[in-house]
A = this chain, B = another copy of it.
């Protein structure tokens, strides 16, 4: 997300770094003691900075929450577009999406949980903006499903509803995954990919006419 390349950029990079660290510590506190139970003072204490330091990066606590709430969906939407830009069959693309997004969920678990819990504390227009971003994600995923269906690669009945379910299967991981727990990140990602494969009933590649889609060029 850093616009590198310019030689006067260190100042901007540092500002971004500080903002990210504030968000990170705030998120950790919101996760453990709730949004209402966390003061700007507590966040400043944690980082050993002054309260005005925090206020020079965030107008108020609500703005930090908004920034936190956007993490999961912003990273996921970026990953989705990145994966869809890679040439390949619908399943090649969907598999990449599921792999990357599930990894994002696992690695940003606390952000996603805090969003789920604290959405009610967002300003209505902030909550709406995030819901729209989430629904755009589902919509885009449904397009992938519908186009895989159209070329006979997937077999499914309701692409939008199936997209919502796939989104849910990935997001749900945030609500039960435990770092160092019974299942590793890799096992979980593999499981979700296999589950999605069954859900869309991917047909064997030999059944898809090769001329109907560009040759996959993934992972050179």
Count of chain A residues with Cβ under 8 Å from any Cβ of B?
A: 33
A198 within 8 A of B: yes
Partner among B34, B118, B191 whose Cβ is within 8 Å of the Cβ of A161:
B191
| CB-defined contacts of A157 to chain B, threshold 8 Å | 191, 194
| Selected interface stretch from A20-28, A39-47, A53-61, A167-175 | A167-175
A195 within 8 A of B: yes
A17 within 8 A of B: no
Known: A116-B117, A171-B172, A172-B172. A195 touches B36 (CB 8 A): no
Partner among B33, B116, B158 whose Cβ is within 8 Å of the Cβ of A175:
B116
Partner among B33, B118, B165, B201 whose Cβ is within 8 Å of the Cβ of A192:
B165
A120 within 8 A of B: yes
Residue picked from A162, A168, A188, most chain B C-beta under 10 Å: A168
What's the least CB distance linking A184 to chain B, in Å?
11
A129 within 8 A of B: no
| CB-defined contacts of A201 to chain B, threshold 8 Å | 198
| CB-defined contacts of A158 to chain B, threshold 8 Å | 191
Q: Which of A28-77 contact B (CB under 8 A)?
A: 32-34, 36-37
Contact of A34 with B120 in the complex, beta carbons under 8 Å: yes
Known: A34-B36, A172-B171. A195 touches B120 (CB 8 A): no
| CB-defined contacts of A183 to chain B, threshold 8 Å | 161
Tell me the nearest residue of chain B to A171, going by C-beta.
Answer: B172
Give Cα A218–Cα B17 distance, bound, in whole angstroms.
61
> Would you list the 7 A-B pairs with minimal beta carbon distance, nearest first?
A168-B172, A117-B117, A198-B198, A36-B36, A161-B191, A198-B199, A34-B120
26 chain-A/chain-B pairs, Cβ below 8 angstroms: A33-B120, A34-B36, A36-B37, A116-B116, A116-B117, A116-B175, A117-B118, A157-B194, A158-B191, A161-B183, A161-B187, A161-B188, A161-B191, A162-B195, A164-B176, A165-B169, A165-B192, A168-B169, A168-B172, A168-B176, A169-B169, A171-B172, A195-B199, A198-B198, A198-B201, A199-B199
